[in-house]
Amino acid sequence: MLVSAKEMLNKAREGKYAVGQFNINNLEWTKAILLTAQELSSPVILGVSEGAGKYMCGYKTVVGMVKGMIEELGITVPVALHLDHGTFEGAKACINAGFSSIMFDGSHYPIQENIEKTTALVNACDVLGLSLEAEVGAIGGEEDGVIGAGECADPNECKMIADLGVTMLAAGIGNIHGKYPENWPGLSFETLAAVKEKVGDMPLVLHGGTGIPEDMIKKAISLGVAKINVNTECQLSFQAATRKYIEEGKDLQGKGFDPRKLLAPGFEAIKATVKEKMELFGSVGKA
């Protein structure tokens, strides 16, 4: 069922667990994530970056693939199809294409401009019943060529954006996309608690879920995080399993070159990673 992320995230916040957002890149990725969510009876959010949307031939193709898969695979758990780190233009394109959830990342704009653009999208999403994620304090690391420094958000600015009526808020708390460097000081729980104090009950979003130690994930959930984004970790699992298949020479045996065989270990590896995360986040059985 393709739904907005609002209800699943409010339930997660109240129940003290988090729903995973797993980014998709192609059919195998999408199928692996949807099947795992169904098997574990977990709500799930499919994240699509603008780069991945372009790679998959545009947002309409993505919507068609996801809706078709939900029907053909008999997926009955709540699924949100969510634009990840959208620009203002990208957000409008995804609203038109039929996404059920949007992230507008205005964190690199001066706060006033972030407020203006977020407000316009709050109105557009409200009319259609879509959920909207906003961001304050850029998340570090590189995503689609955009490099942030891993800032800590200003809790007062978080409140300004939260009060606009967004569904959920991503606040930078020292988190980074991709692998964490050796000398990473960890999440700033001080910032998270201060943001929570200002924004009240709004579900908070933790980006850069790859490589955050389990105890930090659990603590973040206890402090109001209800959505955790994971991207790189599925890519790394897929890559390791595919590498192993080829290094073992399996692509050279029989019909091992068949893409349905060649991509199968990577597909299974994504399923295992998604399962591990859903168990850690506590969303199993919560559909």
229 is an interface residue for ligand 13P by CB under 6 A? yes
209 is an interface residue for ligand 13P by CB under 6 A? yes
178 is an interface residue for ligand 13P by CB under 6 A? yes
**Smallest gap, in angstroms, from Cβ of residue 229 to ligand 13P?**
3
Q: Where are the beta strands (DSSP E) in 64-190?
A: 79-86, 101-104, 131-136, 141-143, 146-148, 168-171
- Residue owning tokens 């929570």: 196
Cβ–Cβ under 8 Å, residues 133 and 103: yes
User: Which is nearer to ligand 13P, 9 or 245 (by Cβ)?
Assistant: 9
Cβ–Cβ under 8 Å, residues 131 and 101: yes
Q: What are phi and psi of 57, to 5 degrees?
A: 75, 25
**9, 230, 241, 263: which one binds ligand 13P (CB under 6 A):** 230
Nearest residue to 136 (alpha-carbon basis) of 112, 115, 107: 107
How many Cα neighbours within 13 Å face the side chain of 93?
17
Cβ–Cβ under 8 Å, residues 231 and 210: yes
Nearest residue to 52 (alpha-carbon basis) of 160, 145, 139: 145
What does the alpha-carbon distance between residue 32 and residue 249 come to, in Å, rounded to a whole number? 24
User: Which is nearer to ligand 13P, 54 or 200 (by Cβ)?
Assistant: 54
84 is an interface residue for ligand 13P by CB under 6 A? yes
**Smallest gap, in angstroms, from Cβ of residue 278 to ligand 13P?**
14
Residues near 59 by Cβ (< 8 Å), separated by ≥ 6?
48, 53, 83, 93, 94, 97, 98, 99
Enter the DSSP assignment of 100: S
**30, 42, 188, 232: which one binds ligand 13P (CB under 6 A):** 232
User: Which is nearer to ligand 13P, 196 or 207 (by Cβ)?
Assistant: 207
Q: Among 37-45, 149-157, 229-237, 258-266, which window interacts with ligand 13P (CB under 6 A)? A: 229-237
User: Which is nearer to ligand 13P, 43 or 148 (by Cβ)?
Assistant: 148
Q: Among 5-13, 31-39, 187-195, 204-212, which window interacts with ligand 13P (CB under 6 A)? A: 204-212
Is 154 an annotated catalytic residue? no
**Total residues interacting with ligand 13P, rule: CB under 6 A:** 15
**Smallest gap, in angstroms, from Cβ of residue 127 to ligand 13P?**
25
Q: In the structure encoding, which two tokens stand for residue 217, read together?
A: 């994930």
User: Which is nearer to ligand 13P, 84 or 157 (by Cβ)?
Assistant: 84
Q: Among 35-43, 113-121, 231-239, 252-260, which window interacts with ligand 13P (CB under 6 A)? A: 231-239
Q: Catalytic amino acids?
A: 84
* Chain residues that interact with ligand 13P, rule: CB under 6 A: 23, 47, 84-85, 177-178, 207-210, 229-233
